[in-house]
Chain A
Amino acid sequence: MTTISPTMSHPQTENQGIEPTPVPLPMRVAIIGAGRGGTALLDVLHQIRTIQIVGIADQNPSAAGLKRAQELNVPVYDRVADLIKQQGLNLVMDVTGDPAMESVLQKEVPAGTDVVNGQTSRLLWLLVQHESTLQTELLHAEKLAGIGSFAAGIAHDMNNPLQLILGLAENLTDETDLEAVHLQARDIIDAVKRTTAICRDLTSYSRRSSLRQDCLISVNGKLDEALKIARYAVALQDIEIRKLYQPDVVVKGNPDELLHVFVNLITNAVQAMEHHGTLTLETKAMAAATQVCVSDTGSGIAPELLGRIFEPFFTTKPPGKGTGLGLYNIKNVIHHMNGTIGLESHVGRGSTFTLTFPGESGADERRTRP
């Protein structure tokens, strides 16, 4: 299984016989200040496998970055002195903006450890924010590009009820049986409602991911929602769909982004099966983690491509059929959720993508969003 994980140094392959690449020693970094700047740095730095965040310090115990650090298993300190005396620090990043902190660090940071603060620190924060905005834009652009492939599915689902509405309305112009008139009028109303639902689903899906804070998401509900969307992109009528859902499975994250991840995985799976085969959606709540598996019985992925499929702009689809950003964006979303992606694939037999998230199962259902 190839695992792409923010906490692992390199992808590893169990069944394809690829040896892990030697890992250089990570740069050991401490972050001072857990406000917006510290939180943004945490989110970016924890994704970089050559950086180890030794800890984050803030005097304010309710600072947002401290909570985020705990979610990412980064040690939290309320005293700066305790953090900077950690062994082997390469870099201290001061994002407090406090001039007094500069003098404290000048005195206490050991020789051989670099310090970033003041305007340099501010510049760094701006770059991090810019990177985060670009990533959001990229996700949205890829989603919109994908919606282009929905045309056939949307046309099918819109034009069928429209045909019913037109046919019944034409018939009503000379229908004399009052009971038939009532029945057909009701059929027209139902058809209009179905058409409206299509528009609602799609406008909701195509909107920019909300910037609201992460919340608990019902995974089973989100997978069902993704199936509804994916059927516009790929024909599901000849696909056997197996749902192995454990009840009440939840994860923490952005619901719009997770929906996008599921739609992409399901669409890829169905395309790999060339529209005939079995799609299995499985959810598992374990003691310390939650897992979502999307499996297909399709063509599988060649071993030599396994290491590249999460790269940006890498695609095996014909020109115009794929942006090459789908799995790259999935990886970014899952990393933001502090999760991992595993992939097991056998040529000619199919693939399984396994998403593993830190345990939120059994959490308070009242906070769960559909």
Chain B
Amino acid sequence: MSEFKSGFFVGGESCNGRVLVVDDEPDIRKVVRMTLQKAGYDVLEAENGEKAIETINYGENRLLLDVIICDIRMPKVNGIEAIAYFRQNYPRVPLIVLTGFPDTEMATSLLRQGVVDYLVKPVEGEKLKASVARAMEQRELAHL
């Protein structure tokens, strides 16, 4: 497994897509990375919304980031604030929420804002991969 620390993607072979995982828990980033890398995705990590915004604004990530998986409850810039930023500045990048706390109202509101999926931990690998695949389709449609 590659030792990719939070933040900056420095290139890589062409793959199924590039996914940014935003979660304050290193364990979560680790297992999501593990699952998605096995499915052929490049995975970037950020430990909070602030780092995620730095990451997406860094170099080629602006253009090449395909999907963002974002937690809600995080320090500094939380998930809600980060998602609002991404929707405003990168409306073509699909967003998946992966949260520890199921909240129907919040889910409805986020889905209305254009979030592709609202997943509640613990989520099975197959379900996560299916969600990312759907998001990738949306990303491709956005490029058309």
A positions within 8 Å CB-CB of B:
151-152, 155-168, 170-171, 187, 191, 235, 237-238
B51 to chain A, nearest CB (A): 14
- Shortest Cβ gap from A206 to chain B (Å): 20
* Chain A positions within 8 Å of B74 at CB level: 237
Residue of A with least CB distance to B1: A180
Is B107's CB within 8 Å of the partner chain A? no
Known contacts A159-B121, A163-B122; is-contact A235 B32 (Cβ 8 Å) = no
B102 neighbours in A (Cβ, 8 Å): 155
Contact of A156 among B30, B73, B123 (CB under 8 A): B73
By the criterion CB–CB under 8 Å, are A160 and B121 in contact? yes
Determine the distance from Cα of A235 to Cα of B75 in the docked complex, in whole angstroms: 9
* Contact code string B25-37 (vs A, CB < 8 Å = 1, else 0): 1011011101100
| Chain A: CB-nearest residue to B35 | A167
Q: Are A166 and B73 interface neighbours, CB within 8 A?
A: no
Q: Which residues of A contact B76 (CB under 8 A)?
A: 238
Give, as a whole number of angstroms, the nearest-CB distance from B45 to chain A.
14
Say yes or no: A235 contacts B34, CB within 8 Å: no
Which residues does chain B contribute within 8 Å of A158, judged by CB atoms? Answer: 100
**Given A158-B100, A159-B121, A163-B121; A168-B73 close (CB under 8 Å):** no
Q: Is the interface of A mostly helix, strand, loop or mixed?
A: helix
Instruction: Judge whether A159 and B122 touch: CB under 8 Å.
Output: yes
Closest to B119 in A: A163
Interfacial residues, chain B to chain A (CB-CB below 8 A): 24-25, 27-28, 30-32, 34-35, 38, 73-76, 100-103, 120-125
Given the known inter-chain contacts A156-B101, A237-B24, please indicate yes or no for A163 contacting B123, CB distance below 8 A: yes
Closest to A160 in B: B25
Alpha-carbon gap, A129 to B132, bound state (A) = 63
Q: A167-B34, A237-B74, A238-B76 are in contact. Are A191 and B27 (CB under 8 A)?
A: yes
The reply to whether A168 and B31 contact each other, CB–CB distance below 8 Å, is: yes
Q: Smallest Cβ distance from A182 to chain B, in angstroms?
A: 15
Closest-CB distance, A190 to chain B (whole angstroms) = 9
Complex contacts, A165 vs chain B, CB 8 Å: 122
- On chain A, the residues within 8 Å of B28 by CB distance are 160, 163-164
Q: Are A171 and B101 in contact (CB under 8 A)?
A: no
Which residues of B sit under 8 angstroms from A163, Cβ to Cβ? 27-28, 31, 100, 121-123
Closest A residue to B26 by CB, please name it: A164
- What's the least CB distance linking A202 to chain B, in Å? 16
CB distance B101 to A151 under 8 Å? yes
Chain A's nearest CB lies how many Å from the CB of B22? 14
CA distance A157 to B121 in the complex (A): 11
Contacts of A156 in B (CB 8 A): 73, 100-101
Q: 13 A-B Cβ contacts within 8 A?
A: A151-B101, A152-B73, A155-B100, A156-B100, A159-B101, A159-B121, A159-B122, A163-B28, A163-B122, A166-B124, A167-B125, A168-B34, A171-B34
Chain B residues near A235 (CB-CB < 8 A)? 73
Whether B101 contacts A161 by the Cβ 8 Å rule is: no
**Which of B38, B101, B122 contacts A162, CB < 8 Å?**
B122
Contacts of A237 in B (CB 8 A): 24, 73-75
The distance from the CB of B81 to the nearest CB of chain A, in whole angstroms, is 12
- Contact indicator B27/A170 (Cβ below 8 Å): no
Per the bound structure, the CA–CA distance linking A209 and B35 in Å amounts to 46
Asked if residues B75 and A160 are in contact (CB atoms below 8 Å), the reply is no
Give Cα A170–Cα B38 distance, bound, in whole angstroms: 12
A159 to B100, CA, bound (A): 5
Alpha-carbon distance A162/B122, docked complex (angstroms): 6
Residue of A nearest to B103 (CB): A152
Q: How far is the CB of B124 from chain A (nearest CB, A)?
A: 7
* Closest partner residue, chain B, to A235 (CB atom): B73
Chain A nearest Cβ from B120, distance in angstroms: 7
Give B76 Cβ to nearest chain A Cβ, in Å.
Answer: 7
Q: How far is the CB of B35 from chain A (nearest CB, A)?
A: 6
CB distance from B65 to the nearest CB of A (A): 22
Contacting pair B27 A164 (CB below 8 A): yes
Known: A163-B31, A170-B125. 18 other contacts (CB 8 A): A152-B101, A157-B100, A160-B27, A160-B28, A161-B27, A162-B122, A163-B100, A163-B123, A164-B28, A166-B31, A166-B125, A167-B31, A167-B34, A171-B35, A171-B38, A171-B125, A237-B24, A237-B74
| Bound CA–CA A316/B68 (angstroms) | 39
Nearest chain B CB to A220's CB is how many angstroms away?
A: 25
Nearest B residue to A158, CB-CB: B100
Contact A170 B124 (CB under 8 A): yes
Q: A238-B75, A238-B76 are in contact. Are A167 and B100 (CB under 8 A)?
A: no
B121 contacts across to A, CB distance below 8 A: 159-160, 162-163
**Nearest Cβ distance between residue B64 and chain A, in whole angstroms?**
25
Set of chain A residues within 8 Å of B120, measured between Cβ atoms: 159
